[in-house]
Chain A
Amino acid sequence: LAKTTQPISMDSYEGQEVNITCSHNNIATNDYITWYQQFPSQGPRFIIQGYKTKVTNEVASLFIPADRKSSTLSLPRVSLSDTAVYYCLVGNSSASKIIFGSGTRLSIRP
């Protein structure tokens, strides 16, 4: 059974770079990797998506090694407002496979 694994929690400080890694050993050729952010009492919100190598947008970077069995979400210079739960998702375009990780609770301290 496909499984997406991430650390339960992480702590960091304002201004630091935070890297959250997700393990997805059974990723298939057609699967993409997506990261979502969730605040309390809200639905998850899209952060970034990638297939291989590196993707960067205005809020984060996503690093995917050649074997694609893991991925790392990188948040540069975090602030208190980045305190949230971050979910890794592995899935394909047909939605026949949508596997969310159990989430990483990120706490940012002043």
Chain B
Amino acid sequence: DADVTQTPRNRITKTGKRIMLECSQTKGHDRMYWYRQDPGLGLRLIYYSFDVKDINKGEISDGYSVSRQAQAKFSLSLESAIPNQTALYFCATSDDPGQGAKTQYFGPGTRLLVL
């Protein structure tokens, strides 16, 4: 979805390096999410944020941190990258139309390789 952009699209880094993955959205949504996708495991939630003052850990937050710089921007950092963090990372957004689960809109993904 062009309304959700991720940079970079591909990244190769070395063990121990700090890297940041960035996500921007023009949908005007308050909620943003970071997932990782591994072959055979589907998507797993790393962190999510409901507004700029709200950050929540997901299922697999260890080794990651996030920053919600503005409503439209949500960054994921790997403070000291390790090889098992090699994966495809997706950012997503959703609005908050009251009750019910929220439809999520995903970015194109960032492919990260940690050597």
Tell me the A residues contacting B by CB distance below 8 Å. 8, 31-32, 34, 36, 41-46, 49, 51, 87, 89, 91-93, 95-96, 98, 100-103
> Which residue in A8, A51, A95 is a CB contact (below 8 Å) of B100?
A51
Decide if A43 touches B92 in the complex (CB within 8 Å). yes
Report the nearest B residue to A6, measured CB to CB: B42
CA–CA, A87 to B45, complex, Å?
14
CA–CA, A44 to B41, complex, Å?
14
Check: B12 CB closer than 8 A to any chain A CB. Answer: no
Task: Report B-chain residues with C-beta under 8 Å of the C-beta of A101.
Answer: 42
CA–CA, A93 to B47, complex, Å?
15
How many residue pairs link A and B with beta carbons under 8 A? The number is 62
Give B17 Cβ to nearest chain A Cβ, in Å. 25
Decide if A49 touches B103 in the complex (CB within 8 Å). yes
* 4 tightest Cβ-Cβ pairs between the two chains A and B: A43-B106, A32-B101, A100-B42, A102-B42
Tell me the B residues contacting A by CB distance below 8 Å. 1, 4, 31, 33, 40-45, 48, 50, 56, 58-59, 90, 92, 99-109
> Which residue in A43, A45, A91 is a CB contact (below 8 Å) of B109?
A43
CA–CA, A47 to B104, complex, Å?
11
With A43-B92, A46-B103 given, is the CB distance from A98 to B45 under 8 Å? yes
Report the nearest A residue to B104, measured CB to CB: A46
Decide if B100 touches A100 in the complex (CB within 8 Å). no
CA–CA, A51 to B5, complex, Å?
30
CA–CA, A102 to B1, complex, Å?
22
Task: Report B-chain residues with C-beta under 8 Å of the C-beta of A34.
Answer: 101, 103
With A43-B4, A43-B92 given, is the CB distance from A103 to B58 under 8 Å? no
Decide if A41 touches B31 in the complex (CB within 8 Å). no
CA–CA, A93 to B109, complex, Å?
24
Task: Report B-chain residues with C-beta under 8 Å of the C-beta of A87.
Answer: 42-43
CA–CA, A45 to B105, complex, Å?
7
Decide if A45 touches B101 in the complex (CB within 8 Å). no
CA–CA, A6 to B31, complex, Å?
27
CA–CA, A36 to B56, complex, Å?
23
Task: Report B-chain residues with C-beta under 8 Å of the C-beta of A41.
Answer: 108-109
